[in-house]
A and B are shown apart, each in its own frame.
Chain A
Amino acid sequence: MSPKGIPEAVIAAVSGEEHPIAPFLRMDRMPHIWCSTCGIGTTVKALAAAFEKLGTDLDKVAIVSGIGCTGRVAGYVRLDSFHTTHGRPIPFATGLKLANPELDVIVFSGDGDLVAIGGNHFIHAARRNMDIKVVCVNNFIYGMTGGQVAPTTPLTALTSTTPYGNAEPPFNLCHLAAACGANYVARWTALHVRRLTKAFTEILVKPGFCFVEIITPCSTLYARKNRLGTGLDIMKYYHDNTVIEHGADPAEADIVFGGPIICGKFVERDRPTWLEYQDQHLTERLGEKYFRAKALQEACER
């Protein structure tokens, strides 16, 4: 921050200097559509920072999004990027990754997209331990369509389709991912930029289905309907109510309206990925008849 408290990025923009992550973005698409105080931009910045830290070859990264506010991420990153249909970024990413296993394939989408309409794909990709990285920006609500209840909305919360308060229990996404077999499961908030960036650096080098949930403010809809204050108030809430507990049992990390938010890296394990298991199994069963066996042998020798 500058002495006057103005963010450096703002000063840089005003003074004509390039924003540090501008090379990572499609600047010809700015301004973006996200509301002021929305947390999605923060998560994109953290991903860019993780790429920079790792020195990732960005020509070999593909981002796949579905529909919704977070679904627009694919459109703003200067990468091979696919804005697909509602709920379907995970199967799209599955095809993309298996057709070209050299790619780092990242699904970046919202809670409604990934676990409501896309919930079946989410659990099966985790079960298969498909080698894709799934980033879920969870703002507890359908933002793009005007603030309807989501399968992540906490009990009693107000939305435009639960005007008397939500009476359906929500999913605990980290518990779901862990139970289905994900290799890596973590939860952070949009306040935890450093830790989120670290989580991204971890999943980018970790094989298998990796899941990061980011609790994110939607001050335009969720916060307004529930009288949670401004974006800054929500950041203060995250600051005061986050409990960081690495290795916590995700089953115990339910999100309750007005309650603490348990964050941390909950799961890190090494189940073989879908393709690793196929290769191992089919090489055992078919030997040299397995077409990929020769390529795998050469890779091992290198």
Chain B
Amino acid sequence: MKADPVGVRTGTFYLDGDRAAAEGAIAAGCRFFAGYPITPSTECAEHISERFPEVGGIFIQMEDEIASITAIIGAAWGGARSMTVTSGPGVSLMMENIGLAAMLETPCVVANVQRGGPSTGLPTMVGQADVMQARWGSHGDYEIIAYSPQSPQEAFDFTVKAFNMAEKYRTPVMVLLDECVGHMVEKVVIPPADAIEVEPRRLTDAAKGEYLPYAYGDDLVPDMAEAGMGYRFHVTGLTHDERGYPEMSVRCQDWLVPRLVAKIRQSADDIVEFDEENADGADVVVVSYGISARVSRMAIDLAREEGIEVGFFRLRTIWPFPEKRIAELAKKIKAFVVVEINLGQIFYEVERCARGQCETLLSPHAGGGVHDPEDILKVIEKGAKAK
């Protein structure tokens, strides 16, 4: 279906990434936001607090991040498209209930404007060290979908996509901005409402009394009911059967948890997005995302001036990981160079997918700033010499 024009501020604007993400959320139909102030994400919450009264949304600043994530899950079950925004320490607090959202199969969006960590770290300065936390942060087995915008325009576009994927797969979806993308101001074009596709909620049409909250078909995604529709359904964070009733057994665990994982994995081709440039025929392929992808471009240009055949692979989604394509490229190239503002996270994921078919090298950065392109260049040069 098309976006509700009430929420779409069509036009060309200069916006920072935080505010662009807010506009993306509103355009995608988000009408409930709960959050807690935290640098460098707060501009997103501020923007929504200003915009929501005009579009019929409910904005509430909660007492902490735990309350914020839990309120957006409750709001989703009340019928709203819902979102929260935070940064590292806040995501850490949210993790238990991100697991609840995954377990209840609740569509909702969590944006993380990454800063330097660990702990309080560098509140006002950039980091990209939460990408593994996004994937593995809550206990137990589940899969997640995560986007990584490299510009305010993509903060808008990817937040719309995040809402759509949350509805399509009934899962929490993360938008992993970083402080640079969150705070940089660039041109953002917001299209007309009829040019924005919005995924409708998968509401059940079962007869009352016959609805099974966790019965599913080939796509492994159950149809949803919302409170007040008359189904009088039950959901629980405990391991549950198709009625939503708790069942403490190996059999039920084996019925439920592999499906939670498989519903995302089997649809990876539908979800995964990346940009690829000159990767076929390259000796070295640079893999990067977010602000680091933009910094990598200069290093790639410098390497090409030196005559090195360099390709570029930019992750638009980080999770699920583009395993197939990385594995294919690994057979053809000498080395991957992973550029990220951490000490090796996606690096290990690339290395895993490469399976020893080529070298995988890291251009690390501990956080607080972006790479010096010369440092990336040195790693590319090393990759070009690999056998």
Instruction: Please determine whether chains A and B interact with each other in the same assembly.
Output: yes
Query: B73: which A residues are within 8 A, CB to CB?
Result: 84, 92, 95
Q: Taking CB as reference atom, which chain A residue is nearest B68? A: A91
Cβ contacts under 8 Å, A83 to chain B: 234-238, 246
Contact of B227 among A26, A100, A124, A292 (CB under 8 A): A100
| Given contact pairs A74-B236, A75-B234, A83-B236, A99 touches B79 in the complex (Cβ within 8 A) | yes
Q: Which residues of chain A come closer than 8 Å to B136, judged between CB atoms?
A: none
CA distance A286 to B58 in the complex (A): 15
What size tier do the contact residues of chain B reach?
35 or more
Chain B residue at minimum C-beta to C-beta distance from A29: B245
Contact partners of A59 in chain B: CB under 8 A = 228-230, 232
Complex: chain A residue closest to B34, CB-CB: A95
A272-287 contacts to B (CB < 8 Å): 274, 282, 286
Say yes or no: is B70 at the interface (Cβ < 8 Å to chain A).
yes
As a 0/1 sequence over residues 118 to 140 of chain A, the CB contacts with chain B under 8 angstroms (1 = contact) are 00110010000000000000000
The reply to whether A99 and B80 form a contact with Cβ atoms under 8 Å apart is: yes
Interface presence of A62 (CB below 8 A): yes
Residue on A nearest B208 in the bound complex, by CB: A59
Residue of A nearest to B236 (CB): A83
Interface residue from A92, A100, A120, A289 paired with B64 (Cβ < 8 Å) = A120
Q: How far is the CB of B79 from chain A (nearest CB, A)?
A: 5
Binary per-residue interface labels of chain A (82-100) against chain B in the complex, 1 for a CB within 8 Å, 0 otherwise: 1111011011111111111
> In the complex, what distance in Å separates the CA atom of A80 from the CA atom of B213?
11
Report the minimal beta-carbon distance from A58 to chain B, rounded to whole angstroms.
7
Q: Enumerate chain B residues within 8 angstroms of A96, measured Cβ to Cβ.
A: 74-75, 77-78, 227
Query: What's the Cα separation between A78 and B245 when bound, in Å?
Result: 12
B53 pairs with A92, CB closer than 8 A: no
For A79, the closest partner residue in chain B by CB is B232
Of listed B73, B243, B245, residue having the most chain A CB within 10 A: B73
Q: How far is the CB of B285 from chain A (nearest CB, A)?
A: 42
The answer to whether A91 touches B67, judged by C-beta atoms less than 8 angstroms apart, is yes
Any chain A CB within 8 A of the CB of B164? no
Q: B226-254 interface mask toward A, CB cutoff 8 Å, 1 = contact, 0 = none?
A: 11111111111110000101100000000
Whether the pair A290, B54 counts as a contact (CB closer than 8 A) is yes
Tell me the complex Cα distance, A81–B231, Å: 10
Query: Is A94 touching B237 in the complex (CB atoms < 8 A)?
Result: no
**Is B60 engaged at the interface, CB distance under 8 Å to the other chain?**
yes
**Given the known A-B contacts A83-B236, A84-B100, are A95 and B32 also in contact in the complex, defined by CB atoms under 8 Å?**
yes
Give Cα distance in the complex from A286 to B56, angstroms. Answer: 13
- Is B72's CB within 8 Å of the partner chain A? yes
Interface string of B23-63 (1 = CB under 8 A from A): 00000000110100000000000000000011111101011
A291, B63: Cβ atoms under 8 Å?
no
Shortest Cβ gap from B74 to chain A (Å): 3
From B31, B234, B235, residue with most partner A Cβ within 10 Å: B234
Q: Is A116 an interface residue (CB 8 A)?
A: no
* In the assembled complex, B82 has its CB within 8 A of some CB on chain A: yes
Residue numbers in B under 8 Å from A90 (CB-CB): 67
Contacts of A176 in B (CB 8 A): none
Complex CA distance for A97 and B243, rounded to whole angstroms? 24
CB <8 Å contact, B245 and A75? yes
Return the CB mask of B69-95 against A: 1 if under 8 Å, else 0: 011111111111010000000000000
B357 interfacial by beta-carbon distance below 8 Å: no
Which residues from B are CB-within-8-Å of A121?
Answer: 63, 67
Q: Does A53 belong to the interface (CB within 8 Å)? A: no
Measured between beta carbons, the chain B residues less than 8 angstroms from A29 are 245
Check B71–A92 contact: CB distance below 8 A: yes
Some 5 contacts from A to B, beta carbons below 8 A apart, are: A29-B245, A84-B73, A91-B68, A94-B71, A290-B53
Using CB atoms and an 8 Å cutoff, list the residues of chain A in contact with chain B.
26, 28-29, 58-60, 62, 64, 74-75, 78-85, 87-88, 90-100, 102-103, 120-121, 124, 274, 282, 286, 289-292
Q: Which 6 A-B pairs have the closest CB atoms?
A: A99-B78, A95-B74, A95-B75, A95-B71, A83-B236, A291-B56
